[in-house]
A and B are shown apart, each in its own frame.
Chain A
Amino acid sequence: MQTINVNGYDMAYLEVGQGKDGDPPLVCVHGTLGDFRTWYAVLGPLSKKHRVIAVSLRHFFPEHWDGAGDDYRMAQHIADVIAFIEQIEPGPVDLMGHSRGGHIAFRVAQQRPDLLRKVVLAEPGGDLDSTLAPAAAPGGPSPQSARVLVSVNKVRSGDIEGALENFVDGIDGEGTWRRLPAAAKQQLRDNIFTLLGQVHEARKPYSKPDARAIKTPTLLIGGADTKGSLSLIWRALAEHITGAKTAVIPNAKHWMFEQDPEGFSRAVAEFLAG
């Protein structure tokens, strides 16, 4: 694959499409258990108008990571994406992130607005602090991170299938894992050891000042049928990001761009063109 060396790591990426002269590329950042292949379903529609660059974050496939070392950190991935954008294009880029990748894109927008033209956050992951969710229990783990812990223990005891089922069903409901096509399952399985890193990634919750600090034009996208915290976070952020636009994909859950590639791509393309 093509790679760019960022902070001492060869970061792999897939680049598809030409875009129009002068238009920024669209850099896409996958979420937990994803990699550059996460975006395969929307490469066709999106690359008609855009130069699409789908990265694999440090330790995700194509690397075959064993989970050792302590550089699987939210801060590391944010720094890597920043260094990647600095090298891939002299001017600002458009940045899209899904789930945990949405968290990364949000933090890049907070830290380095100079690198970005527009931002798309597809159900960004994380927790809301008490300024955004007054009912949040201070300091306690969210249901989402508690679920990750259970999966990690299963990975450590060798129960890979159980770990994946627990994680995926925790997001989109009981029975989701079993119903996934084998091909989709395998791509998540390829990244299972990254969960071992995720336990100590040190992800900070979103705060109201964080959201207000976003100056980049932002689109937040959610699946209409997503339940739980992932359906609440993007709505809470949208309330406090100045001028934020939103789009809901009907009949879709957390992996909304796989469930409705055309609908998702239309929402993104309209936002990037507007």
Chain B
Amino acid sequence: MQTLHVNGYDMAYLDVGEAKGTPPLVCVHGSLNDFRIWGCVLGPLTKQHRLICVSLRHFFPEQWDGKGNTYSIAQHVDDLIAFIEKLDAGPVDLLGHSRGGHICFRLAQRRPELLRRLILAEPGGELDASLAPDTKGGPSPLLARFTTAADKIAAGDIDGGLEFFVDTLEGPGRWHRLPPLMKQGLIDNAMTLIGQVRDERPGFSKTDAESIKMPTLFIGGAKTKGLLPKVLHTLAAHVPDAKVALIPNTTHPMFEQAPHAFSEVVLKFLAG
């Protein structure tokens, strides 16, 4: 693959499509995914844009062994900043999904001059007390279960670890019902879960949200339940120049479930 050398690491990316007067759209995957997760929207989006789909440090195509302390939000934000600088294409448009949305949010906070527009598709993370007064703080109540999943993976039980992880998030039996094609992408990135449970990410605060300067689009799945829609709508209420688009009949992987509808929303926002 093509790579850029950032902070001592060869960061892989897929560069596809030709820009028609707009900056490149840099796409950042979430947990257990990699550059391939954007495969289903490449067609519609590259009709107008140059897409740069990165794989963050330790995700496929790397075959990581789970060792070391270089899997963290902080490291991934640093890497993405260095990547955009090295790309040397001026301010870019930035799209992040889930944990990738969290990374893009933090980048927008720290280095607004690197971005033209920002798209956050159900960004992951928690709200702190300034945004959710009833919040208890502390680690996610699911952390213990995720740690169990990571321990299984570290012990070599990839399938068992992923089953525990996916079923915790989406209900019993979900892993077994996933199409093998989708399972495989998670299997290829299973070791990153070991880094993920060690990662500490501070919750979003009101000040954080208010500091996002560029035009920002929040995209959600209309049927997503739980914390993700709450985070999305709360952030959107406090980011000064924010729009919200919900994709009907979809949940968290909304662009895989409705690639065309998702792409339409993105194209409209980037053109507007």
Contact = CB atoms under 8 A, between A and B. Distances in A.
Interface residues on A, range: 20 to 34
B184 A262 contact: yes
Interface stretch (B41-49, B134-142, B161-169): B41-49
A176 interface: no
A253 to B, nearest CB: 12
Interface string A46-61: 0110000000000001
Contact of B36 (A1, A40, A61): A40
A1 B14 contact: yes
A32 interface: no
Of residues A16, A45, A182, which shows the largest number of chain B Cβ atoms within 10 Å of its Cβ? A182
Contacts of B42: 37, 61-62, 190
Contacts of A17: 61
B160 to A, nearest CB: 15
Given A43-B61, A61-B42, A183 B1 contact: no
Contacts of B63: 47-48
Nearest to B184: A261
B237 interface: no
A64 B181 CA distance: 25
Contacts of B184: 41-42, 44-45, 261-262
A183 B256 contact: yes
B43 A190 contact: yes
A47 B258 CA distance: 29
A44 B60 contact: yes
A2 B2 contact: yes
A14 interface: yes
B35 to A, nearest CB: 10
B5 to A, nearest CB: 17
**B-side binding surface: helix, strand, loop or mixed?**
helix
Contact of A182 (B1, B16, B17, B256): B256
Interface string B187-219: 110000000000000000000000000000000
Interface residues of B, number: 31
Contacts of B182: 181
A186 B260 contact: yes
A62 B256 contact: no
A17 B62 CA distance: 8
A189 B43 contact: yes
Interface in A214-242: none
B190 to A, nearest CB: 10
B180 A41 contact: yes
Given A62-B46, A64-B46, A182 B259 contact: yes
A186 B39 CA distance: 9
B17 A62 contact: yes
B74 interface: no
Interface in A144-195: 181-184, 186-187, 189-190
A206 B50 CA distance: 41
B6 interface: no
A260 interface: yes
B257 interface: yes
B39 A40 contact: yes
A1 B51 CA distance: 10
A181 B16 contact: no
Contacts of A14: 1, 14
A177 to B, nearest CB: 15
Nearest to B256: A183
A258 interface: yes
A129 interface: no
A44 B256 CA distance: 20
A186 B41 CA distance: 8
B226 interface: no
B61 A47 contact: yes
Q: Which of A1, A183, A190, A260 has the most CB of B within 10 A?
A: A183
- The winner among B41, B61, B187, B258 for most chain A CB atoms within 10 A is B61
A187 B46 CA distance: 13
Contact of B257 (A45, A64, A182, A261): A182
Contacts of B256: 181-183
B179 interface: yes
Interface of A: 1-2, 12, 14-17, 37, 40-45, 47-48, 61-62, 64, 181-184, 186-187, 189-190, 258-262
Given A186-B43, A186-B44, A190-B43, 11 more contacts: A12-B16, A44-B187, A45-B184, A48-B63, A181-B179, A181-B182, A183-B257, A186-B40, A261-B181, A262-B184, A262-B187
9 contacts: A40-B39, A41-B184, A41-B185, A44-B188, A47-B63, A183-B257, A259-B181, A261-B180, A261-B181
- Nearest 8 pairs of A and B residues by beta carbon: A190-B43, A44-B188, A183-B40, A186-B259, A261-B184, A183-B256, A258-B181, A186-B40
